[in-house]
Amino acid sequence: MERQEAYNIVLANVKNNNLVKHMLAVEAVMAGLAVKLDQNANDWRLAGLLHDADYEETKNDMPRQGVIIAEKLSQLGIADEICHAIKAHNDKTGTARQSLMDKAIYAADPLTGLIVASTLVLPSKKIADLTVENILNRFKEKSFAKGARRDAILSCVEINLSLEEFVSIALEEMKKISSNLGL
């Protein structure tokens, strides 16, 4: 599947602009992680972009979030590894995280939220002004961005990255698409 086709699926299924931005952020982070880990960047990018494409449909049935879109994508011929990673990003599906892609998307998903929240508390509200140190300090504040699951972010060690290296890659990739994120 080409990237534009995947993006069209997102736009057809997601009306919340902030959710679309979140999926763009996860797409960017996954692409950066794929390069770092010598993986297929296109596949990782697609998993990141499409991982929440069923969120609005399943938000009241969280054990199905990721499953519905993965089933639809499978019918379109999308690789099993991508569909599995999409299901595995959500703990509530019960899908085991096995591959590097599964583990990366699980950790990247909440990190993007922490990075956005860390940006929005800056006086400039510009991601260009955000540093890894800012994010790591916010990470330690349990009351800050409570929805950013720290345990999932810390699972970056399962893909052989330290927290600092993981945050650095994610921040660099999100800065590249700052205009798309409105940051």
pLDDT tens track for 87-115:
999 999 999 999 999 999 999 999 999 99
Q: Cβ distance 70 to 79 under 8 Å?
A: no
- Number of domains comprising the chain: 1
CATH number at residue 125: 1.10.3210
CB 48 within 8 A of CB 87: no
DSSP, res 95: -
Per residue in 23-36, pLDDT (tens digit) is: 999 999 999 999 99
Predicted TM-score (pTM) above 0.85: yes
Q: What is the DSSP string of 47-64?
A: HHHHTTTTHHHHTT-GGG
Range of the domain at 91: 3-181
